[in-house]
Amino acid sequence: MNESLHLDPDQLEAGLPKVEAAPLDGGLLEMIVRRPATDEREVLTEATLSPAVGLEGDNWSLGKANPECQLTLMNARAAQLVARSRERWPLAGDQLYVDLNIGDVNLPPGTRLAIGAEAVVEVTAEPHTGCSKFVARFGLPAMEFVNSPEGRALNLRGINAKVITGGVVRVGDVVTKISAT
């Protein structure tokens, strides 16, 4: 573990205004990461989302797959803050990194998002809080920051979603709110 890669609580707080300034709608898909096996990451320029398996080729569907946790989305600005470099974003373990406000007020459970021209996903109520791997990769202050009351309201650790309509998604695709069920 390299402590120089981890921010302290004051540094994390100082970065919050930039995270909060993410678009409320019409954000961009900044990164796609497939997890073919535990602790393996593949950064993709495009991927196929499927209602049956989530992100095709991802290990989500292996074992005890919870349909409410088919995909994870993380605010790209929050990923940049805790990871400190784009190359380290995949270590968070999420599949889609979006420049979009993913807080509870903006994207409550049941909200549907169009990603690009084909895919539609729905935000689920299943919480996404992180794990010991997140602490090892980004530090305990980062875990405490994303799980603070403000961090939870903004879903800084990310949100879970399920695929409603499959399709190809690409880095640079627009992410648009289309409805709340």
Q: Place 3 in a pLDDT band, splitting at 50, 70 and 90.
A: low
Q: Domains in the chain and their CATH numbers?
A: 3-180 (2.40.33.20)
Q: What is the pTM for the complete model shown?
A: 0.94
Residue 127 has what pLDDT? 87
What's the rounded mean pLDDT across residues 33-37?
94
Handedness of CA 102, 107, 108, 112 (dihedral sign): negative
d(CA 12, CA 142): 7
- Segment of 2-16, 127-141, 145-159 carrying the highest mean pLDDT: 145-159
Q: Does position 4 have pLDDT exceeding 80, yes or no?
A: no
Query: Which residue reads 């690009």 in tokens?
Result: 116
| Helices (H), ranges, 41-139 | 76-83, 132-138
Q: Place 49 in a pLDDT band, splitting at 50, 70 and 90.
A: very high
Q: Place 61 in a pLDDT band, splitting at 50, 70 and 90.
A: confident
